[in-house]
Structure 1
Amino acid sequence: MQKDIVKRLIFSVRVSPALTVLGMMASTSVVHAQEQAASSAERLPEIVVSGSRSESNRFDVPAAIDVIPLNGFTAQSPLVNLSEVLGAVPGIQIRERQNYAQDLQVSIRGFGTRSTFGVRGVRILVDGIPATMPDGQGQSSNASLASASRIEVLRGPMAQLYGNAAGGVLQVFTKDPPVKPEASFSLGAGSDNQRVLGVAVGGGSDILGGTLDVTRFSTDGYRDHSATRRTTVNAKVVARPSSDTKVTAVFNSIDQPLSQDPLGLTRADFQMNPRQVTPRAMTFDTRKTITQQQAGLVLEQRLSSSDVLNARVYGGERKVFQTLAFPGDALVQAGGVIDLDRGYGGLGLDWRHETQVNGLPLNWTLGMEMDALSERRRGFVNDNGVQGALRRDEKNKARSTDVFAQADWTFAPQWRAIAGVRLSRVRMLVDDDYVVRNPDPSLDNPDDSGKVVYTQTSPVVGLVWHARDNINLYANLGQGFETPTLAELAYRTNGTGPNLGLRASTSTQAEIGAKIRQGRHLLDVAVFQSRSKNEIVQEQSQFGRAIFQNVNGVERRGAEASWRSEWNNQLSTSLAYTWLDARFRQAFNSSNGVTDAGNRLPGAPQHSLYTELQYRWQNAVTAAVEMRADSKVYVDDINSDAASGYAVINLRAGYSFDAGAARMMLFGRIDNVFDRSYAGSVVVNESNQRFFEPAPGRRLYIGVRTQF
C-alpha cells in the first residue's frame, strides 16, 4: 500500500491543476522574495516548535507544522474561539457553529469532518496535557486563548507519533509567569449582546512564579435559543529550583451553566430566516450544562549535558447535562436527557538523548503514556425539557497504553532523517446497569455489558534535504489509526447494547513539501495523500441513536500553500490556501441511501483561502483586512445537498498607548463586512435533514485592555 500511495501522490503532483497554480505561486513568491532581500538583510524571527516531540527550528522540521504566536494584550479579537486565530494556517478547518452546546468543528486534511459534536480525528493538547480522551473524543474548550502564548498545528504523517485519532495535532501553550509583577484587565462588547470580561495577574522570580487568568464570556447568540454563559479559570505555577529542573503545575476550570442548542435548519428554513430556531428545540428545550476541573504537573529534568527527562501526570472530572430533541425510548435504551459524570487522568514519561555520529547530531527519544477515563452515563426521558424516567444506565471505561521511540539523525551535512514507531493499545469497557425483565420477551432490555481491545503499530519515516541555507525539501510516510469513541460504540443495528464489532480505522499517509525562506518572506508548500481502511461512517440514525459502520477505500489528497511576508516595518501580508480532494472510492449503503464511489466526504470544502493585509504605524496603530473563502460543502455521504461556497471580508484595528503606569489597548473589528448570508457549518448526516447552521451576518466588536 505504501508504494501505491507514493505513486498516486507523484501522479497527483503531475496532473492536478490546483498544484500547477501552487507552483506558479511558489515561483512568483521566490522572485518577490529575492528582490526584497536585495534591499534588506533582515530575516523573519526563528520559531522553535515541539511538534516532532523534540524542540527544533520550525523551518528545519521535516513536516507541515505552523506556529501562531499569541499576545492576549495586543490581539484584536475577543479571544473566545480557536477559529479567531488559526485562519492563516492551511490544511485546518475550524468552523464556529454559533452553537456552544456542540463545540467547534475542527478538522485537519479531511480528518474529523464527520463529527457532529466535540472534536474527532484531531488530537488536542494544552501544555502537554491531552484534551483528547483515550477513546479519541476531545474538546477545544480546554484551551484559554487569553492565557496562550502560541499554538502549534502539526499535519501529516508525523502526527501519527501522537497515537489514536491523530489525523493532525493541535497544541496550545500558555505563557509562563512574568518575572516582574503584572496585572491586566480586559473588557469587550459586541453584536448579539456579546460580552467578554477578563482579569489576569502574574509575577514571581527566576525561581518561582505564577499566573492566574479568569475570563467570563456571554452572548444571546446570533440565532434564537442560542444564548451561552461561560467562565474559565486558568492558573500556572512554574518552579526552577535549579538550572537543570523545571516543574510546571497547571489548573483549568470551566463553568458553562447555560448553552442553548437551536439545532440545525432545513434548507427551506435556512433560506426563509437563518436566525430562527427549530421548533423541536423549543419543545424539548435543547441545551447543555458543563462543569470541568483539571490539574496537571509537568517535570523537565536535565540529567546530563546529553540527557533530558520529561514527565507529566494529570487528572480531572467533567460533568455534562444535556437535553436532546427527542423524548427517549426504553426499547432502544436511548434517552432524550443525558447525564454524564466523567473522571479522567493519565501519566507520561519520555527520555531524550543527544549524541553525535561522525561529528553530526543523532538524537533519540523513548517514551510511554497511559491515559484512562471512567464515566457514569445515564439517559432519561425528555418530557418537554424536564427530566423523566430512566432509560439508560451504564459505566464506561476507556484506557490507552502507548510506548514510542523516535530517532532524529543528521547523517550528512545536508541530510536529516527522522524515524519513529508507536505501539498503542486501547481498551474499552461497557458495564450495563439498565436491565429490564418483562413477561413479553420482546420488551426485555438485557445486560449488554462487554469490552473490546484495539491494538496498532504506527511507524513513521521522514527525510529532509537542506538544499540551500534558505531551502528545505522533505518527504514523510506513516501509518495511523482512529478507534471508535465510546459514543460511536453505543448502539448497534440489531438489538440493544454497544456495537463491539466496530473496528478501528487505519490510514497510510504520505507527504512531500518544501520550505523557502528569503529575508522577511517565508513560503511553505506541501502535497499529501492518505488512504483509509475501515473508515468509521454513519450507517443510520433514528430515535436519537447514531449507528456506525466500517467502509474501505476512503481517500484524502490535496495541497497546501502558505506565504508570509513582512515587506517593511509597517506592511505585512499572509496567505493560506488548501486544495482538498476527499472522496469515498468504494460505494456503500446506509439508511440515507447508496453512497456512490466518487462521492465527496461531507463537511470538507475542496478549496479554502485566507488572505490578510496588515499595516502598522509607529508601533501604536494597527489596521488589517482579512478575507476568508470556502467552496461548497456537502452535507451527507450521499451528497444529496450542499452548503454553498462563500467569501467574507473582516476588518480590524487597534491603538495602543501609555496612560501613566498602565499600557492601554483599544481595538475593534467588523466581521462579515458585506453582511453575507451563508452556512458557516453543517451538521453532517443529520437524519431530519436539518443540515445547515447559519453564520452570523455583519458583526461589530469593540474592546479595551489595560496592562499594569
Structure 2
Amino acid sequence: MKRLPYCLFLFLLSAFPLALMGQTSLTLIDAESGEAIPSAIANLDNGTKHISDERGQISLDLAEKTNALFTHISYEPFRGIIIPDSAATIKLIKKTNSLSAVTVTSFESERGLMEQAAAVSKVDQAELYRFNETAIVHALNTKPGIRLEQRAPGSYRVSIRGSSLRAPFGVRNVKIYWDGIPFTAPDGTTALNLLDLTNIQGAEIIKGPAGSIYGAGNGGVISFTPGSVTQNKAEVSTMGGSYGLLKYRVGVDQMLESGSLSASYVTQQSDGYRDHSALDRSVFQLQGRFEPSDHQRLTTQLLYADLFYEIPGGLTADQVAENPRQARPGAAEQNASIKQKTLYGTLSHHYEFNDHWSNHTTLYLQTTDFENPFNLDYKRETQYGYGARTRFTLDDQWGAFPVRVLFGGEYQFANTSAQNFGNRNGQADTIRFADDLITTQGFLFQQIEINWTSSLLMTIGLSENFSRYDITRTVDASPSGNPYAAARTFDPVVVPRIGLSGQLTANAAVYGSISSGFSPPTIDEVRTNEGSINLDLQAEKGINYEIGYRGEYLNGKVQLDASAFFFQLDETITTYTNSQGVVLFRNAGATDQKGIEAQLDYYLLQHPMGFIQELKLGHSYSFHHFRFKDYVNDGEDFSGNALTGVPPHNLVNKLDLISRNGLYLNVTYQWVDEIPLTDDNTVMQDPYQLMNARLGWRKNFGSAWQVELFGGVDNLLNEQYSLGNDLNAYGGRYFQPAAARNYYGGVKVKMRY
C-alpha cells in the first residue's frame, strides 16, 4: 500500500503532457452533398500531414491554434485555423471537373453548362497555364471550332468558325468582353494584344451569332474573366526562353474588411523567331472589389498597356524555302511596326433590390495613342472613347413555371483623329490624308427564360441594334483632293434567338437553337489605307441552326460535348489586294457553313493517395464544310469553292498528369488540315502537326510559401508552318512562318500572409 502514492504520482506525471494537449476532431465533407471525403490531406504549419479516413475524419492532438491547408485531388484547396479540444466540420468545394458542375455566365444568365442551349466552350485557369504563358493562343486553340492565329508576336487574329475571313490583321467579327466590359471598340475592332495572360483567369466562348444579347458579330463572343482575390498574398515570377524571351511579373493581393485590392505589373520582351519580329509589352493592372452592403458590389479596374511589336510581313513560297526567318524585303528599312499605349478605367456596380430584382451596370473610359509605320505608309491615331452596359434581371414565377427575364442596353462612342503619311525610311513623311472619325454603336436587348418543366428550359432573346460612322476628311493631299465629310448610318437591325435545352438525365442533355447575327464593316474596312472611303460596303447578316449533346459517364470521369450546325451568311465580306499591295474589301454574295464539333475528356486515373494522382486525356475535333455561294467577281466564279482561311479538319489531343510529389506534365498534339489561301483555292497551306509539352513542379512550404518550377518546349516536332497567313495576298506573299522548335523555363514564388 505504501507504493500506491508513488505509482499514482508517476501516472499523473506521465499523463500531465497529455492534459496540456487538446484532442481535436475534424470531419471533411463535400460542401454540396454533405458526403464524407476520405483521403483528404491536412497540411499543418508545423510540417505534419494527416489523412482523413473512410468517414472523412481526422483526429489531432494540438496544444495551440494551428493553421492548416486542406487538399484533395477532386476539391479546391481550403485554408483554415484548427482550434485545440474542439470538433469541426470542414466543407470542401468540388473542382469543376465534370460538365454538370461547370457554371457559365453566357447570355448574361448564370446557369450550368448542361442547361445552356448554345455551343459554349469554357477555358479555365489550368488550361491557360498548360503552355508557355506568353499568350492565350495555344489554350484557345484546344477548343473545337476556335482558331487563334499569331502571325508574329503580338499580332493576333481570332477565327471562330471561319470568322477571320475578313480580317487581314487584328480581331474583327468577334465581340470580346473583359470583366463584363466591352473590350471591342465601337468600330468593331479589338486590341486583344493589350492583355497579358496574367490579366485573365478564365474565358467563355460562344460560337456563332449571339447578337440577341451582345450586339454585332457573326463569329461569336469571348468573355474574359480577370483574377479574383481570395487571400492575402504576394507573387513574383520570371521566365525566359528561346529567341530572347524574357518575362517577369510582380503582384499583390490584399483582403479588406468588406472587399479586396490587387495590383500587378508584368513585362514581356522577345527578339522573335523571324528578323524584325521583336516584342516589348508592359501591362499594369489595379483592381478593387468592395461590398458596401449585403445588397451591392462595386468593382473598379485600371488597366494600362504599353505595347510595341515589329511586323516582319508575309513571304512568298520561294522566300520561305530560302530562309523562313527572313522578313519581307523593306519591312526593317521602313520600320514596319506598331506602338500602342492604351488606358482603360472601368467601374461595375451590382445591386440586389430584393429576392427577385437585380441590376448590373458597367462603365468604362478609354484612351489610345497608336502609331503604325508600314512598308507603304505611316499611320498615326489618337482616340478616346467611353461606353456603358446595363442589365436588369427578374427571377419570378409565371403561373407554375419559374421565369427569368433580362433586359438592358449597351452604348459605345469613340472619337479618333487619324493621319496617314508617306513612309521615308521608317519616318513619317508628307501627310497624305487626315480624318476625324466618330463611331457609335448601341443596342437594346431582351431575354426570357422559362422552365416549362424541371428538365426543359426555353430561352427567347431579341435585340435592336444601330451603328453609325462619321468621317470628316480634314486633309487630302491628292491633286484633286479637298476636305469633305461622309457618314454611314446602318439600318436598325433586329436580331432574334430561340433555344431549347432538355436534360435527359442528371448527367446528359440535348439542346437546339436558331440564332441570327449581323456584322457591319469596321472603320478600317470602310476607310482603307490608300485613302478611299467605301460607303457601299454592306453589313453581313446570317442565321445559324444548331443542335448539340452534352453528357458525362462513370461519375464524371468521361465527358462529351458535341454539336452540329448550319450557318448561312449573306453579304459576306472578303479581302483582296490591289497592285500597290493595299488590302481592300468587298461583299462576296453568300456562304454556306456546315460543321460538326466535339470534345471528349476522360480520366484514366484518379487516385488521391497514389504517386500518380491524376491522369487525364482530352480530344477535340472540328469538321468544317464551308463553301462560297453565288460568289462571282471580275468574271471569275468562285461559287462552290472552300472558304478562304479555314481548315476542313482540326484535331487536338491532350494529356495531363499530376503526381503526389508536385510534379505535373502537360502534352498537347494538334493536327491541322490544309488551308486555302485564295478565293479560287489554287494556293494552299500544307497540313501540319504541332506538339507542345510542359513539365513542372509545385511545392508548398508550410502554409505561407509555394514555389513552382517549370520548363517546356513548343513545336517539339520542329514543324515548318504558319500560324496565320495573309489571304488573297498580292505578289504571292501568303506565308507568315511560325517559330521552329523552341524552349522556355521559369520560376514562380507565392507568399501568403
- TM-score, with normalisation over the residues of structure 2? 0.83
- Greater CA deviation, 377-386 or 85-94? 85-94
What secondary structure sits across from 1:84 in the alignment?
helix
Cα distance in 2 between the residues matched to 1:318 and 1:544: 27
List alignment gaps of at least 5 residues for structure 1.
1-41, 327-335, 438-442
CA distance in 2, matches of 1:45, 1:186: 34
| Alignment of 1:537 onto 2:537 | no
In the aligned structure 1, how far is the partner of 2:532 from the partner of 2:160? 32
CA distance in 2, matches of 1:615, 1:508: 41
- Provide Cα deviations, 1:206-242, integer angstroms capped at 9, x if missing partner: 5121111111000000001111111011221000111
- Report the alpha carbon displacement of residue 450 of structure 1 after superposing the two structures with TM: 0.6
Counterpart among 184, 191, 206 of residue 139 in structure 1:
191
- What aligned pairs does 1:608-619 form with structure 2 within 5 A after superposition? 608-618=650-660
- Relative distance call for 1:502 and 1:219 in structure 2 (3 A) is same
Hey, what does 1:204 align to over in structure 2? 255
Equivalent of 2:468, from 422, 427, 447?
427
Change (3 A) 1:79 1:492: closer
Q: Which amino acid aligns with 1:419?
A: I
Q: Is the 8 A contact 1:238 1:247 kept in 2?
A: yes
Matched residue SS, 2:184 = coil
Correspondence for 2:552: 517
Question: Hey, what does 1:415 align to over in structure 2?
Answer: 456
Number of the residue aligned with 1:89: 143
Query: Which string of whole-angstrom CA distances, capped at 9 and with x for unpartnered residues, describes residues 165-209 of structure 1?
Result: 24211111011223x321001100011011111111011235121
Secondary structure of the 1:682 match is: coil
Query: In structure 2, do the counterparts of structure 1 residues 87 and 537 end up closer, same or farther at CA, with 3 Å as the change threshold?
Result: closer
CA distance in 2, matches of 1:339, 1:553: 35
Q: Which of 346, 369, 374 pairs up with 1:324?
A: 374
The 1:160–1:267 alpha-carbon spacing in structure 2 relative to 1, beyond 3 Å, is: farther
- Counterpart pick for 2:733 among 672, 675, 690: 690
CA–CA distance in 2 between the matches of 1:545 and 1:187?
40
Whether 2:478 is the aligned partner of 1:449: answer no
Distance (Å, rounded) in 2 between the aligned partners of 1:219 and 1:264: 20
Q: Note if contact 1:58-1:66 (Cα within 8 Å) is conserved in structure 2.
A: no
State the Cα RMSD in Å: 1.9
CA distance in 2, matches of 1:243, 1:579: 48
Structure 1 segment 361-400 matched on structure 2, within 5 A: 361-400=402-441
Percent of paired sites with the same residue:
23
The alpha carbon displacement at 1:555 in A equals: 1.6
Cα deviation digits, residues 100-122 of structure 1 (max 9, x gap): 2xx21211011123311110111
String of CA shifts for 1:355-410, please: whole Å, max 9, x gaps.
Answer: 12343321010101110111000011101211111111110111012100000111
Quick one: distance in 2 between partners of 1:492 and 1:502?
Answer: 16
* 2:583 corresponds to which of 535, 541, 546: 546
Instruction: Tell me: CA distance 1:213–1:44, structure 2 relative to 1, closer, same or farther (3 Å).
Output: same
CA deviation vs aligned residue, 1:110-135 (integer Å, no higher than 9, x gap): 11233111101111111011121112
Q: Decide whether the 8 Å contact of 2:211 with 2:518 is kept in 1.
A: no
Counterpart secondary structure, 1:196: strand
Q: 1:557 to 1:161 in 2, by over 3 A?
A: farther
Do residues 579 (structure 1) and 623 (structure 2) align?
A: yes
* Residue equivalent to 1:557: 594
Report SS of the residue matched to 2:142.
coil
Give the AA of the match of 2:622: T
Q: Deviations over 1:39-72 (max 9, x none)?
A: xxx9567122111111111221111111111159
Contact 1:356/1:362 (CA < 8 Å) preserved in 2? yes
Q: Of 311, 314, 317, which residue of structure 1 is paired with 2:364?
A: 314
Q: Name the amino acid aligned to 1:313.
A: L
Q: Distance in 1 between matches of 2:165 and 2:574?
A: 11
Q: Answer yes or no: is the 8 Å Cα contact 2:581–2:730 preserved in 1.
A: no
Q: Per-residue deviation at 1:492?
A: 11
306-315 vs 279-288, which moves further: 279-288
What is the CA distance between 1:157 and its match in structure 2? 4.0
Determine the C-alpha separation between the residues in 2 that align with 1:296 and 1:619.
Answer: 42
What are the residue-to-residue correspondences of 1:224-303 with 2, within 5 Å? 224-256=275-307, 258-303=308-353
Indicate conservation of the 8 Å contact 1:299/1:312, yes or no: yes
User: C-alpha distance in 2, partners of 1:448/1:640?
Assistant: 42
* Paired position in structure 2 for 1:32: none
Query: What is the CA deviation profile of residues 603-624 of structure 1, one whole-angstrom value per residue up to 9, with x for unaligned ones?
Result: 1111111110111111611112
Query: Residue 628 of structure 2 contacts residue 639 of structure 2 at CA under 8 Å; is this kept in 1?
Result: yes
Instruction: Provide, for residues 652-686 of structure 1, a one-character-per-residue CA deviation record: whole Å limited to 9, x for no partner.
Output: 11101134642000011111112111222201122
Q: In the alignment, residue 299 of structure 1 is paired with which amino acid? A: H
SS at match of 1:90: coil
| Counterpart-to-counterpart distance in 1, 2:512 and 2:211 | 14
Which letter does structure 2 place at the counterpart of 1:92? Answer: I
Does the 8 Å CA contact 2:544/2:568 hold for their aligned counterparts?
yes
Q: 1:626 aligns with which of 644, 668, 680?
A: 668
* 1:228-264 deviation per Cα after TM superposition (whole angstroms, max 9, x unaligned): 11101122100011121010001111112x3111101
Q: Identify if the C-alpha distance between structure 1 residues 43 and 229 changes in structure 2 by more than 3 Å, giving closer, same or farther.
A: closer
Go from structure 1 to structure 2 and tell me whether the alpha carbon gap of 1:480 and 1:473 turns closer, same or farther (over 3 Å shift).
same
Answer whether contact 2:645 2:677 (CA < 8 A) is retained: yes
- When residues 499 and 507 of structure 1 are mapped into structure 2, their CA distance, relative to the original with a 3 A threshold, is same
Question: Aligned partners of 1:71 and 1:104: how far apart in 2?
Answer: 22
Equivalences for 1:215-226 in 2 at 5 Å?
215-226=266-277
* Residues 166 and 319 (structure 1), Cα distance of their counterparts in 2 relative to 1, 3 Å cut: farther
Could you say what secondary structure the match of 2:332 adopts? Answer: helix
Give the count of matched residue pairs.
Answer: 644
Q: Could you tell me how far 1:651 is from its partner in structure 2?
A: 1.5
- Aligned-partner SS, 2:321: helix
For residues 197 and 536 of structure 1, do their structure 2 counterparts lie closer, same or farther at Cα, with a shift above 3 Å needed? Answer: same
Report the 3-state secondary structure (helix = DSSP H, G, I; strand = E; otherwise coil) of the residue aligned with 2:681.
Answer: coil
- Aligned residue for 2:643? 601
Alignment match, 1:64: 119
Distance across 2 between alignment mates of 1:157 and 1:383: 43
Residue 624 of structure 1 aligns with an amino acid whose one-letter code is N
Structure 1 letter corresponding to 2:148: I
Alpha carbons 1:118, 1:139 under 8 Å: kept: yes
Partners of 1:163 and 1:502 in 2: CA distance: 19
1:54 aligns with 2:54: no
Q: CA deviation at 1:324?
A: 1.0
How far off is 1:436 after superposition?
A: 5.0
Residue type matched to 2:733 in 1?
R
User: Following TM superposition, by how much is the alpha carbon of 1:282 offset from its aligned partner in structure 2, in angstroms?
Assistant: 2.5
Name the CA distance, whole Å, in 1 between partners of 2:390 and 2:169.
31
3-state DSSP class of the match of 2:733? coil
Matched residue SS, 2:172: coil
Determine the structure 1 residue equivalent to 2:203. 151
TM-score, reference length from structure 1: 0.88
Establish whether residue 98 from structure 1 lines up as the match of residue 142 from structure 2: no
Partner of 1:567, secondary structure, is: strand
**Deviation (angstroms), 1:275:** 0.7
CA offsets 1:263-288 (integer angstroms, 9 cap, x no match): 01101111221111111212322111
CA deviation map 1:419-468 (0-9, x unaligned):
0001000011101101458xxxxx21133421011121100000112122
Q: Does the 8 A contact of 1:621 with 1:655 survive in 2?
A: yes
Aligned to 1:641: 683
Q: Distance in 2 between matches of 1:674 and 1:575?
A: 19
